Structures are given as structure tokens and as C-alpha cells.
Amino acid sequence: MTPGARLQAAIELLDEVEVTPRPADAVISAFFRARRFIGAKDRAAVAETVYGVLRRHARLRWWFQHAGGFPVTARTLLIADQILAQGRPADHLDKLFSGGRFAPAQFSQGEIRLANKLDGHTLDHPGMPEEVAVECPDWAAGHLREFFGDRFVPELAALLDPAPLDLRANPVKADRDAALAALAAAGIEGEPTRWSPFGIRIHGRPPLASTDAFKSGMVEIQDEGSQLIGLLTDAKPGHQVVDFCSGAGGKALAIAAGMQNKGRLVACDVLEKRLKRAAERIRRAGLHNVETRALSSERDPWVKRHKGKFDRVLVDAPCTGTGTWRRNPDSRWRLLGPGLEELEKLQHGILDSAARLVKPGGRLVYATCSMLPQENERQVEAFLAAHPDFAVKPVDELWTSAVGTAGPGTGPFMRLSPARHGTDGFFAAVLERGSAAE
């Protein structure tokens, strides 16, 4: 594709993201599946352009107002991004909007005025409010300011850049050194992660799915923080375990592998399609101790029938996903699911129901990919007030035995952020049920 054709494809894709009530990554995947004639390098370039515009949502729109109130469209957003973020001069960009075959239509008079207004400027401006500069939406700004205090700007700024690509070595198939060697043989460079003993951080965005290491189940794509949640369940060979909100099964795979294929892990979810995707990953990983179960809701009768039967129960709760904004930049602005207030009620209900599965002396691990205290510490406080038979098992005390590395020292709970730990934003609390004798 020519540079102009790439820009036109990006404009069309931005339009689809805007009008389609689905997460941007799903829209982008569908866009390219319908256009298989677009080559891999061109797909990567177009997707990178679109994700860049999504990452700079608030700052670009601020510039539209600062420049005089120009209308916001996919075309004008791309024009502004190319000038402000990519540093392209207005007259050079004008030539790419040539109206030729596959290229964008020529600039309108309004677009010419916009380009000339923005020409020579960069994306950041001292007049921007801090919330705009760090791309923080109004609905989350107050909560995050309250929690982070004077670290609000550096913590949120760390969410502006794309996330790295992390893998987890599957100990059922190979240790981390062997996985690194297999990746290196395929021309893929990686290095051990800091916190997870199974984590591998990859350089760049190589075609991982075509490698033998991936196809054989030797490695799985999983953020380092997500790996740590699986490790903190501290599930042992022979344990009975439930992953209550399993989704596509990433954490279930990690937990089951740590159990050395011994014992039983039940991966549950209310969305059966996700569990079907998990089943394929389970087969590829060579795991035989995992079964999937679709639930009608968090109050499914299966929960009552299995009351007090499990050593470990993981609740990776539905949440706002504020900790994953660097992966899903559109989720800051497009709340396609429940809002914060509704999610808080859902989290409370899920925790309350899942706790029934935990046997005396067993553990309930509550986790989110959120940085909002309402979804984290306050949920744990409310749960403990309603369930006095549970107590916090401090993560700092568990870390070395459960994870096997030096811990980040975050106190009684695991609280990770991109700024401090280089992972997505994650929270985890380990809650232990008192023994029957107590």
C-alpha cells in the first residue's frame, strides 16, 4: 500500500470504531478479516495509526477547541494526529490527501485551515489541564486523584504508551530458559520478567502465532501482572480449585500448570463462548486437570451444590479495566458495558457467592485489572465486614513461597501499576477462611 492508501484505510477503520459498539481491538480484527488483501506490514501500520489516534483522544480534541472549534471527524482527527504527533508538515500531508486511487480525498477548505492552524505545533501544550494531558476521563479522574495523590500525573502518564508483549512459559512443556531458547531459534528476542518466574518480555511485535514455541503450547501470551495473580492463588498439586470468572482461561492455564496436572481446576464463566476458546488453549497447553463450566449467573445452583468443597477460589472480577488502558485506550472513553456503580454491585455479589465454595482453611483470591479503590480495597473491606470467618492473608508474607521471587512490597494486597512495576494495573487480595475448629 502507498502511504496515502494506508491513511485512507486508517480513516475508514476509525469510522468503524466510532460507530460500532464493540471494543476497538475486536473492530480492528474484523476490519482486517474482511480485507485479507491487505498485507501483514500494511495491517500493522494501519492498526498502529488507529491505536495512536485512540491513545491521544483527549489531547487531539483539546487542540480542536484550542485551534478554534473545528469539527471532529475521522479525517480531521487523522490530519491533526499526523501533524501534532507524527510531526508531518501540513504541506507534505496535503500531498498525501491527493484524491488519487486508494488515497484520501483532497483537503476541504476547512481541513486546510485546520492543518495550517496546527502546523508547527506538537501534541502537548502547557495550557492543557492535567486530566487532558494524561488522557484521564472525567468519570475516573476524581477517584484516581484521591488514591494516587501527588503521583496522579506520573501514574496516569505511564498508561499512555503501548503495553509490552509478555509471555508465560508453560512449565508443563518447558522451563523459561528452554522457552527463551526456542524463541531465539525463531528469531524472537526476549528477556526474563522482573517479578514472575515464568514471564518473558518480548522485544517488538513479532509474528508469534506462527512459531513452534506458541503452537506447541510452550508459551502463552499473558501480562506479567496477570501471571502473578495466578501464582498468588498458591494452588498445589492435588488441590481442588475454581477460577470463578475465567473468561478465555489465561489465569486458569497458569494455575493448572502450577498444579503439575494434578488435582482439579474448574474454569467457570457466564459467557459460554469464552469457555469454548479456553478449551482450545487448554488442549494446546497439554493440561488434563481442567474442566470448564458455564454458569447462568454468579448464583448458579452449581455453586450451592459445591459449597465448601474447594481449596482455592479465584475471583478475577469484571471491572472498569482502568489498569489496562495502555492496551485498550478506547475503553477510557467508550463504556460499552456496565458503569462503575453497577460494577461495584456486581463485584460484591460475585464475591459473596464465590465465597461459598471455599472450604474451611481454604483461600479466596479477589483480583481486578482496575486501579480504583472502590473496586479493590473497598470491596475487600465490605466483604470482610459481611464474612467475619475470612481474614486477609498479607501478600507480602505469601509472596516468596507462592511466587518464588523477591516481592514488590505493596503491603497486605498486591497493587501493581505500569509506572512502578512495568505491568498492567492489577489488584489482588488473598482472603483465608478460618478452619472449622476456630
Catalytic residues: 369
Residue with cell 518473558: 200
Residues 6+ apart with CB under 8 A from 7: 49, 78, 82, 96, 97, 103, 104
Q: Are 115 and 82 in contact (CB under 8 A)?
A: no
Partners of 293 in the β-ladder: 268
Annotated ligand binding at 316? The verdict is yes
Residue of 300, 417, 395, 419 lying closest to 354 (CA atoms): 300
Residue with cell 494452588: 235
Distance CA 156, CA 136 (A): 7
Known binding residues are 269, 316
Q: Binding site residues for S-adenosyl-L-methionine, as ranges? A: 269, 316
